Amino acid sequence: MPGMVLFGRRWAIASDDLVFPGVFELFVRVLWWVGILTLYLVHRGKLDCPGGVLLSSYLIVLIILLAVIICTVSAIVCVSMKGTICNPGPRKSMPKLLYVRLALFLPEMVWASLGAAWIEDGFQCDRTVGNGIIATVVVRAAAFSSLCRSWTIIASTAATIAIVFDPLGGKAAPCPAAAPHHLESPESSQLLNGLKTAATSVWETRIKFLCCCVGKDDRTRVAFSSTAELFSTYFSDTDLVPSDIAAGLALLHQQQDSVRNTQEPDQVVSRSPGPSQEADLDAELENCHHYMQFAAAAYGWPLYIYRNPFTGLCRIGGDCCRSRTTDYDLVGGDQLNCHFGSILQTTGLQYRDFIHVSFHDKVYELPFLVALDHRKESVVVAVRGTMSLQDILTDLSAESEPLDLECEVQDCWAHKGISQAARYVYRRLINDGILSQAFSIAPEYRLVVVGHSLGAGAAALLSIMLRTPYPRVRCYAFSPPRGLLSKSLYEYSKTFIVSLVLGKDVIPRLSVANLEDLKRRILRVIAHCNKPKYKILLRGCWYELFGGHPEDLPTELDGGDLTQPLLGERSLLAHGSPAYSFSSDSPLGSPTKYPHLYPPGRIIHLEEVGTSRRFSCYAAAQYSVKWSHESEFSKILIGPKMLTDHMPDILMRALDSVVSGRAACVSCPTQGGSSVDVA
């Protein structure tokens, strides 16, 4: 940070990003240089033959060229190690060194091409002396190997240039030194709007390329535009390069652990949970444990095979190859029999217990199933979570839209993509008569809606939509996204929705507002860092893999607020950025498009306790259980389990452990780990 300016444009790489690539190239080239020099010195006496002089000249020039390149790369590595992320001054000579290094590619490429031509023509040393045959083969093999390495390094460099190329760099580079009063001028505002439009167009092109197989209908195009606008708005107002973000996350994790280890106990009066609260927690935990099977079943055979890698195929293989005609309705998708076989294995139900199973999957249209759960006397609607590119586009359509509900709640706003998906399932359930069919079979049963991840968000919104026609509806949302409901809807949902969150799971903490907060925290921790980036990344990797003492983290935090944008020279792209408006309540500066949103319902939080190990493969984890307030999920926590805690199989194992443990201790005194927070 900031991105380097080369050839008059800004690139998505900083001058302190070249330590590790440079060290790797040095290692390869030094080995290569030593090998070629050794072969030349050992066999140079056997090259006095037709073609030998040419080969000898080629190797001598190659040795000299490699020596010059090694010196240049060594200088690049040494300069890249200097300074800090926010102090690129000691690295001001880096552009000149890179120009020299790039210039050396021309003779290297020419010499590699000439060597390839000479190798193709062949040499005649083996006709001159019998003893020269072996030497010629060895030297020619070395020459050919050097050619391969040359072209490999050239190709790798070209790929690296393509990766770090910033399509907006040519527009961003000319104006880093704009003064604040210049940023207020109409010309600058017009240029800023043009940059934002260009950034949105670039992101939309990238997303279309990555999702080229998704389709081109109207809904998909809308999702492309929504996602591109979110990305361009979020990333265009800072001069962070990817390695800066990685370093910031590593620092945040250590800072977070350091604060947790040193903070004083809360100065509040605590008391044990009342019997009614504890009984309610036990009942809801048992319900979560039961209905999580349906949320997992909605994923179909991929999750089942993942959970049962050795026996899964044998169990559902017969269903995959057998054609069936049943009373249930199968709509859309491929390999439905495989899906249905895994659903039966996961839920333990019979064929006749299923009313509808759909694996139709498009943008804003999620797979779901409807089944009769005789054990709990409920009609279960399970919505699948993220499993495809279409689902990811639904996730990333993060602007808010109003909900038209037949209830007394005011200001009903929700995540656009998830609300569209919930409306699709609602139309299928009501207009196609699926729920009517289910309740005609079991009219006394209760409606329960469940889902995991994206499916949890859709299930929560679906239960809100179904609240009027089915007042007894209940919802169990497993690892739902935080940025889902407006404040009024969040309060309304507490009476019939229960959410379950495991550990540091990032998704229940993920919203546009929290991402903006994370960006501010990254900028703040980088601003106070006095170590070079390569040391931060090395220390961060060691800490993530093996742990350690967070008090040794390489930062100096004085607790001050970041009040100025951390750009190289106050880039125009930071003008008006809400990332530096710390008092703003509206993420990304748009209260109507990206208002603060909240998770659904009451929240049960499972937290791992009694361990600081990075790898828990050899011991069963222990968990505490409590009711938590949504404010406990108002910040994204950094850690090695922030992604794995979201996996449905990990969540199922945690639920198994917690429920079995509480059942075994039903007659024991209440333990401090299984507590209920008292507001």
Q: What is the pLDDT of residues 218-263, one digit of tens each?
A: 778 888 888 888 877 777 777 788 888 889 999 998 888 887 776 6
Active-site residue, 453 included:
yes
- Amino acid making up residue 501: V
90 against 323, higher pLDDT = 90
Q: Quick check: 594 and 398 in contact, CB under 8 A? A: yes
Out of 336-340, 420-424, 472-476, 644-648, least confident range = 336-340
Spatial distance between the Cα atoms of 541 and 495, rounded to a whole number of angstroms:
44
Most confident option among 114-128, 308-322, 579-593, 658-672: 308-322
Contacts of 211 (CB under 8 A, 6+ apart): 220, 224, 389, 393
Amino acid 442: pLDDT: 94
Task: Please name the residue that has the structure tokens 């404010």.
Answer: 631
Of the ranges 135-144, 343-352, 502-511, the best mean pLDDT one: 502-511
Tell me the pLDDT tens digit for each residue of 453-475. 999 999 999 999 999 999 999 99
Report which listed range, 86-90, 160-164, 406-410, is most confident.
86-90
Answer yes or no: are the C-beta atoms of 85 and 16 closer than 8 Å.
yes
Residues 6+ apart with CB under 8 A from 179: 570
Do β-strands 474-478 and 446-452 pair in parallel, antiparallel, or remain unpaired? Answer: parallel
Give the least confident one: 14-28, 76-90, 223-237, 608-622. 608-622
Say whether pLDDT at 153 is over 80.
no
Start-to-end C-alpha separation, the chain:
43
Report which of 189, 194, 188 is spatially closest to residue 168, judged by C-alpha positions: 194
User: Is the model's pLDDT at 593 over the cut of 50?
Assistant: yes
Which single residue is written with the structure tokens 């309610």? Answer: 280
Structure tokens at 280: 């309610």
| Burial of 116 per CB tally in 10 Å (0-12, 13-18, 19+) | middle
- Sign of the dihedral through C-alpha 456, 461, 466, 470: positive
Element (H, E) at 9: strand 9-14
pLDDT at 174: 44
pTM, whole model, 2 decimals?
0.80
Active site residue 505: yes
What confidence score (pLDDT) does residue 451 get?
97
Kindly report the backbone phi and psi dihedral angles of residue 376, in degrees, each rounded to the nearest multiple of 5, phi listed first.
-100, 0
602-619 confidence digits (pLDDT tens)? 999 999 886 555 554 445
**Of 150 and 244, more confident:** 244
- 8 Å CB contact between 573 and 172: yes
Work out the pLDDT band at 321, boundaries 50, 70, 90: low
Asked if 157 and 105 touch (Cβ cutoff 8 Å), the reply is yes
Q: Which residue has the tokens 């945690």?
A: 654
Helix 132-164 × helix 52-80 angle, to 10°: 30
One-character DSSP codes across 193-245 = HHHHHHHHHHHHHHHHHHTTTS--SHHHHHHHHHHHHHHHHHHTTS---HHHH
Q: Give the three-class secondary structure for 6.
A: strand
Supply the mean pLDDT for the chain. Answer: 78
Active-site hit among 80, 226, 453, 479: 453
The highest-confidence range among 230-239, 317-326, 574-583, by mean pLDDT, is 230-239
**pLDDT for 368 beyond 50:** yes
Percent of the residues in the chain that have a pLDDT greater than 90, as a whole number: 38
pLDDT in tens, 93-122: 999 999 999 899 888 888 877 766 765 665
pLDDT(3) > 90? no
pLDDT of residue 88: 87
Tokens of 289: 């444990």
Between 676 and 454, the more confident residue is 454
* CB count in 10 Å sphere of residue 193: 10
Query: Which range, 27-36, 166-175, 617-626, has the best average confidence (pLDDT)?
Result: 27-36
Q: At 267, is the secondary structure helix, strand, or coil?
A: coil
User: C-alpha distances in angstroms, 170 versus 128, 167, 568?
Assistant: 59, 7, 16
Q: Which of 351, 356, 407 is nearest to 379 (CA)?
A: 356
Residue 579's pLDDT band (cuts 50, 70, 90): very low
pLDDT at residue 495, rounded to an integer: 94
**With 90 as the cut, is the pLDDT of residue 379 above it?**
yes
- 237, 244, 395, 505: the catalytic one is 505
- The whole-angstrom separation of Cα 476 and Cα 674 is 20
H or E element at residue 525? helix 512-527
Dist. CA 342–CA 640, nearest whole Å: 30
Say if residue 86 is exposed, middle or buried (CB neighbours under 10 Å; 0-12, 13-18, 19+): middle
Confidence (pLDDT) at 24: 93
Q: What pLDDT is recorded for position 45?
A: 67
Mean pLDDT of 542-571: 53
| Section 189-200 average pLDDT | 68
Tell me which amino acid residue 452 is. H
Q: How confident is the model at residue 371 (pLDDT cuts 50, 70, 90)?
A: very high
pLDDT tens digit sequence for 345-362? 999 998 889 999 999 899
- pLDDT single digits (tens) 296-306: 999 999 999 99
Tell me what percent of the chain is helix, strand and coil, each rounded to the nearest 5: 55, 10, 35
